[in-house]
Amino acid sequence: MKHWLKHRTMVLSFALVVTALAFGTVIVGFTTSDPDYFFKINKSIDIFGRVYREVTMNYVDEVDPEKFMEAGIDGLLGTLDPYTNFINEKEGDEVELITVGKYGGIGVTIGLREGYITILTLMEGYSAQRQGLQPGDRILEIDGKPIVGMKPENVRGMTRGEPGTEVHLKIDREGEPKPNEFVLVREEIQLKNITYADFIKDGIAYIRLERFSRNAGDELRLAIKDLKLRGAIKGLILDLRDNPGGLLDVAVDVVEKFAPKGSLVVSTRGRKPELEKKYFVIEEPMLPDVPLAVLVNRGSASASEIVAGAIQDLDRGIIVGTRTFGKGLVQTITPLVYNTQLKITTAKYYTPSGRCIQEIDYMHKNKDGIFSTTPDSLKHKFKTLKGRLEYEAGGI
């Protein structure tokens, strides 16, 4: 009986949270003219709660109520964009990683390659690198559990955890006849935003910025100061290749090191136009006149695109490389109950010229189930500060 009451309390608590979130969204960003909108919200919550209760109580086999609830939430959020996610209590370190760049792990970055979870890079000095793992290794099992077919975000949660604990990996490596097994120890990993800063020739400085966690602006400030102490900076290369982004205000802080005080860096717009926010340079730049080149590629996304877009639109420097990823969506992390959180897309961001660089329209699919993109012929034209022509909806 107590177990049933606990389940019922979870359903009711979830319903109350969803109701609060839904009504909060309506108050802040309500744009629909449908008079039955509130009724549809309450009706849907009631149906969802009843289905959950009936299945957890009466399904032929016992159902884990928490996993079942998360599956339902993932199903709901799966109809939106891939950046709107439910973060359970065990995944809380993801938030810490985004904000402060610190977590307990083995020192690898992973991704999906040809259907396999693959190690993309190794962080020097940590367990994975010391034990001999290599980029390109395919992870087959973690702690005896097969992971083939799993999403990278779910696998990351399995490799991370309390520093000092062990994790067992089964690895498939090209050219070797059978899988290898590794025993790694999780460590507290402090990610550096700037991984390289030095002169490469004749006063030309090079800075590699790999992410935008909370300290990125401070690290950039110290790197520039250190370079100035060592010699005159005649030109700077800022490398944002494969930088997946991070915090929006940190991206603004990075632009502030180069752009004139008072310059518009980025603006964000949600469901209500009057809630538009604009972010300006509020400090004197450290390198106001030094020639600047920003390196980008298809892996440069989000905050990287804010920086590259601002530098381009303000004609402060040149962009070198290939087209960026095209993520023009802003996420907000909202605390829920029981140490859970919701990362939800709340706005789109726009470069100083007014263009949105979001490439994929996640709310619309074609007849084949493929998300739509804006054809080149329908992309609006924009101009930089000095009149150079740029286009929206396709990265930088």
Catalytic residue, chosen from 302, 304, 343, 353, is 302
Catalytic residue, chosen from 170, 257, 327, 343, is 327
Q: What is the pLDDT of residue 26?
A: 36
Average pLDDT over residues 227-240: 96
Check: CATH 3.30.70.1290 for 194-391? no
Say what the pTM is.
0.75
Q: What is the pLDDT of residue 214?
A: 87
Residue extents of the structural domains in the chain: 2-79, 102-190, 194-391
Give yes or no for residue 289 having a pLDDT over 90: yes
Q: What is the pLDDT of residue 10?
A: 43
Which of 53-57, 62-66, 103-107, 265-269 has the lowest average pLDDT? 103-107
3-state secondary structure of 192: coil
Q: What is the pLDDT of residue 164?
A: 92
The CATH architecture assigned to 102-190 reads Roll (2.30)
Q: What is the pLDDT of residue 111?
A: 83
Q: Is 313 a catalytic residue?
A: yes
Q: Is 213 a catalytic residue?
A: no
Q: CA 220, 224, 229, 231 torsion: positive or negative?
A: positive
Give yes or no for residue 84 having a pLDDT over 70: yes
Say if CB 316 and CB 259 are below 8 A apart.
Answer: yes
- Tell me, yes or no, if the two domains 102-190 and 194-391 fold the same way: no
Q: What is the pLDDT of residue 115?
A: 84
Q: Who contacts 215 (Cβ-Cβ below 8 Å, separation ≥6)?
A: 100, 101, 193
Shortest CA distance to 246 belongs to which of 286, 215, 206, 277? 215
Catalytic residue, chosen from 81, 313, 343, 353, is 313
* Cα radius of gyration rounded to whole Å, the chain: 24
Residue with tokens 């590794």: 182
Cα–Cα distance, 90 to 290 (Å, whole number)? 46
Q: What is the pLDDT of residue 9?
A: 40
| Better-scored residue on pLDDT, 104 or 128 | 128
Q: Is 327 a catalytic residue?
A: yes
Average pLDDT over residues 366-377: 68
Average pLDDT over residues 84-107: 75
| Better-scored residue on pLDDT, 156 or 43 | 43
Q: What is the pLDDT of residue 167?
A: 94
Q: Who contacts 126 (Cβ-Cβ below 8 Å, separation ≥6)?
A: 105, 106, 107, 187, 189
Q: What is the pLDDT of residue 272?
A: 83
Q: Distance from CA of residue 162 to its chain's centroid?
A: 23
Average pLDDT over residues 228-233: 95
3-state secondary structure of 88: coil
Average pLDDT over residues 274-296: 95
